[in-house]
Amino acid sequence: MVAWVRRAVGMGGALWVLLAASAASAQGRPRLQLLVPPGDSLGLVGPQVRATGVLGANAIRELLDHGFPARLTYYVELWSTAGVFDRRLQAVTWDVVLRFDPVHRLYEGVRVVNDDVRPLGTFERLADAVLAIEQPERAPMRGAPDERAPLYYTATLTLEMLSVSDLAELERWVRGDLNPAVRGRRNPGTALSRGARTLLSRLLGGERRVIETRSEVFRVRRGSG
């Protein structure tokens, strides 16, 4: 078991300190922005997505520093208003994972789209890692189709602090196999890990936080003729 895993497993006292401080954890309101491409690009690219303030809570930052990686899952949909009920035309999801390496005292971030893993870099300061994660990101989806009905995008961001029962999987991440940690597959939790998950739920007000937003309604300009 690598050092950062041992540190996280043996952090019971530190977690209780975090629990006492969680009431004052809010630091800026999390925001999720969804920007529709300009008219001449609507049929070519997807919307731009940006999350800010999601990792601003003191409790979340403390958990990161004590070996609990953060996973941010983005889910973007394109909807058409044609018909009686709105119809979903496209959907895409991707993940961003941020962890702290206590051995090298560095924060490491990656972005995962399907099976494509793209490093976001390593950072000495959490503020720099957060800045990299909060850069605007183009949703990896096709441009909006050329149809008559008004369209709109929706976006959902889910923040999860990966628990003690995920740490064995995350050891494989350290060795270069990221998929088990990002996809959420995990071994059955022991009594210790279940207790840690319960405590994390108290710290974070639940095991995850969800932010949703919706774009303005727009139309794709049909080709001029």
Note whether residue 128 is domain-resident.
yes
Give the mean pLDDT of 90-116. 91
Within a domain: 225: no
Q: 167 pLDDT exceeds 70?
A: no
Percent of the chain with pLDDT over 90: 38
Number of domains in the chain: 1
The parent domain of residue 27 ranges over 3-214
**What pLDDT score was predicted for residue 28?**
62
Residue 222 pLDDT grade (very low, low, confident, very high; cuts 50, 70, 90): low
The answer to the question of residue 220 being in a domain is no
Task: Look at residue 219 and tell me if it is in a domain.
Answer: no
At 137 the pLDDT is 93
Structural domain includes residue 184: yes
Per-residue pLDDT reduced to its tens digit, 183-212: 444 443 343 344 454 455 445 444 568 999
User: What's residue 43's pLDDT?
Assistant: 82
Distance CA 20, CA 168 (A): 28
pLDDT at 224: 44
Helices 58-65 and 126-133: crossing angle in degrees, nearest 10, is 110
Query: Comparing C-alpha atoms, which of 95, 144, 146 is closest to residue 118?
Result: 95
Question: Residues near 218 by Cβ (< 8 Å), separated by ≥ 6?
Answer: 36, 42, 144, 150, 151, 152
pLDDT in tens, 119-161: 999 999 999 999 999 999 999 999 888 778 899 999 999 998 8
8, two tokens? 């996280």
| 95 inside domain | yes
